[in-house]
Structure formats: structure tokens, C-alpha cells
């Protein structure tokens, strides 16, 4: 229910109590039941229901010396953190070594030396760089999950799902150098185990998940984003491939099913590949879960057919 006395438009949907005080809004108005209190010292016209809304509510609390880190930073960069955000996830904030971390409901504070991470401005607030974001949430990841996140850092693909535009391109060598600088930290062993398994040019988390499933089953490592040509004419770029055997493995996300144009293109490119002697194996999310055994068997049979 809206209060009969409107708030100044300049405050916006989410504002700090101190900002309301400076705008001449008295306590009697900022503490009325029509305003939500998502964080200490913050008021909001509506309860935050998404990660973006939660961050919009917290931004007025972020002090000049504070930076977003960990899972919060990873999500702000659009990295494929494996666990979906929930309203119970704390906002993770770091302060320099000579400051006291914030201690309030809904916020997880920590110390991080200023020279350990570069500071970027995203939507006007301070966030640590993407590699440091990976390192500061590493203790919550499995090796496979870390590989997926590293692949997202290494890729130059402009259409990688949810990845923030402008995310700086990183090389495996740079991540290795940062590991040497950071040395031991929570989850460092996970990152060190994951880095040799990461590959550049991947275009989605599911491509990485598929490749890791195949490697875990003892199959040869496939090439990533292999381009197929007929003489000099470009035919297709396939997610994963055994080029010498002419076997292509393609992950089909929901976009391939819901878009008529994409569906038609997929059928045509499959025909183009098969006309040139390729075996095309298409898979969906089910093949990465309960149907994985049948999917792996299909690949083994294709390999056997080409090597017999």
C-alpha cells in the first residue's frame, strides 16, 4: 500500500536512510510500513525478489573503500556460477586489510588486500576483477564447476550466455600467474586442478559440461568449436568434434527448440554435414543427466564405426 505522503522522486526506488534524512524526509515517513527494509539503513519501495533487485537495494550501502567479491562479484560479471541465486544468499563485500568488514544481516564481509585484485566500476559500484571473483568463490566450487567458470573467462565468444558485455579477455597464462601471486587461499587447489582442463573459445557452459562428461568417461578429448569447410567454403562450426573421424557433437539448448529460424538452420547444417560424411550426434540436458550412459554409448559406437 502506498503512503498518502509521497517520497521525493530524487530518492528513487531504493535509498539509504542517511540520503532520506539529507532530503528532509523525517523518521516518521521513512519508517512507515509501506517501505521495505532489505538491509540495515536501507529502505525500498518494494521487496527485492531477484539478484538484480537485491543489488539495487544494497548499492546505497556500499562505502567508498568497499568492493563486491566472491559469488556476488561472479554474478555481477555474468560468470556461470553453478548454484542459482536465492534470497538467502548474502551480498559479499570486501574491505582493505586496515578496515573492519561489515557485520549486518544479509551481508558477508571479509578483508582483501587492495593489491590482490583490480577494481572495476560496474553500474557505478566497485567490483573486483573477474579472475579475483573466481578466486574468492573458489572454495564453493567443485573442479568441474571451476572449469566451467574458467572457460567463461577464456572465451572471446560474444554470445556466451549471460556473460557481461565488456568482460576483459583473460588467458590461461594470466590465471596461472595470478595463482602464483595469490599462492594458497581457500579453494586454490580446486583452481589449480581445473586450469589444465580449461579450453578457450567455448561458447556455453553446457559445451564445457559435455566435454568434461566425455573426458570423465575415458573418451578422447574432442576439439572445441571446430570449423568445417568444403574446399574453401565454410559449412559449419560445431561445438565439439573429432575432425579426423568426422564426428560432430552438438548441444541443443532451449533456444534451438523455441526459435523456428534456429531450428530450421540446425536441420540444414546437420544435412550439410551429413552430406559431407559427418556423423552428427545431438544432445540435450537429459543426456547430461539421466541419459548420459546412452549418450556416451552413442559416441563410442560412432568412434568404433569410424575406426573399425
pLDDT digits (tens, 9 = 90+) for 236-253: 999 999 999 999 999 997
Q: Is the pLDDT of residue 259 over 80?
A: no
Q: What is residue 4's predicted lDDT score, i.e. its pLDDT?
A: 66
pLDDT digits (tens, 9 = 90+) for 141-170: 999 999 999 999 999 998 899 999 989 989
Mean pLDDT of the chain: 93
Q: Which of 202, 191, 211 is nearest to 140 (CA)?
A: 191
Q: Is the pLDDT of residue 258 over 70?
A: no
pLDDT digits (tens, 9 = 90+) for 75-90: 999 999 999 999 999 9
- Most confident by average pLDDT, 7-11, 27-31, 96-100, 267-271: 96-100
Provide mean pLDDT across the span 104-122. Answer: 96
Q: Cell 572471446 appears where?
A: 156
- Percent with pLDDT over 90 in the chain: 84
* Single pTM value for the model: 0.91
pLDDT digits (tens, 9 = 90+) for 58-78: 999 999 999 999 999 999 999
Q: Is the pLDDT of residue 230 over 60?
A: yes
- Percent with pLDDT over 70 in the chain: 97
Q: Is the pLDDT of residue 308 over 90?
A: no
Amino acid at each position: 500500500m502506498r503512503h498518502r505522503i509521497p517520497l521525493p522522486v530524487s530518492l528513487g526506488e531504493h535509498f539509504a536512510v542517511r540520503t532520506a534524512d539529507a532530503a528532509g524526509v523525517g523518521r516518521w515517513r521513512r519508517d512507515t510500513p509501506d517501505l521495505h527494509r532489505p538491509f540495515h539503513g536501507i529502505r525500498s519501495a518494494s521487496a527485492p525478489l531477484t539478484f538484480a533487485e537485491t543489488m539495487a537495494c544494497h548499492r546505497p550501502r556500499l562505502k567508498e573503500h568497499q568492493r563486491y567479491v566472491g559469488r556476488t562479484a561472479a554474478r555481477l560479471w555474468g560468470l556461470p556460477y553453478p548454484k542459482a541465486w536465492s534470497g538467502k544468499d548474502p551480498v559479499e563485500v570486501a574491505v582493505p586489510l586496515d578496515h573492519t568488514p561489515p557485520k549486518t544481516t544479509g551481508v558477508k564481509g571479509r578483508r582483501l588486500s587492495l593489491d590482490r585484485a583490480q577494481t572495476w566500476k560496474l553500474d557505478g559500484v566497485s567490483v573486483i576483477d573477474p579472475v579475483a571473483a573466481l578466486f574468492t568463490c573458489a572454495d564453493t566450487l567443485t573442479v568441474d564447476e571451476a572449469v566451467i567458470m574458467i572457460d567463461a573467462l577464456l572465451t572471446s565468444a560474444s554470445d556466451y550466455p549471460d556473460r557481461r558485455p565488456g568482460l576483459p579477455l583473460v588467458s590461461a597464462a594470466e590465471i596461472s600467474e595470478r595463482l602464483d601471486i595469490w599462492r594458497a587461499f581457500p579453494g586454490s587447489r580446486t583452481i589449480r586442478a581445473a586450469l589444465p582442463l580449461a579450453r578457450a573459445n567455448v561458447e556455453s557452459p553446457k559445451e564445457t559440461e559435455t566435454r568434461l562428461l566425455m573426458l570423465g568417461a575415458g573418451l578422447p578429448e574432442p576439439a572445441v568449436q571446430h570449423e568445417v569447410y568444403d574446399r574453401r567454403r565454410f559449412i559449419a562450426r560445431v561445438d565439439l568434434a573429432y575432425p579426423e573421424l568426422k564426428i560432430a557433437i552438438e548441444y541443443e539448448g532451449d533456444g534451438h527448440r523455441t526459435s523456428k529460424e534456429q531450428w530450421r538452420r540446425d536441420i540444414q547444417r546437420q544435412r550439410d554435414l551429413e552430406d559431407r560424411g559427418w556423423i552428427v550426434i545431438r544432445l540435450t540436458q537429459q543426456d547430461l543427466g539421466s541419459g548420459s550412459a546412452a549418450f556416451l554409448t552413442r559416441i563410442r559406437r560412432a568412434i568404433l564405426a569410424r575406426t573399425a
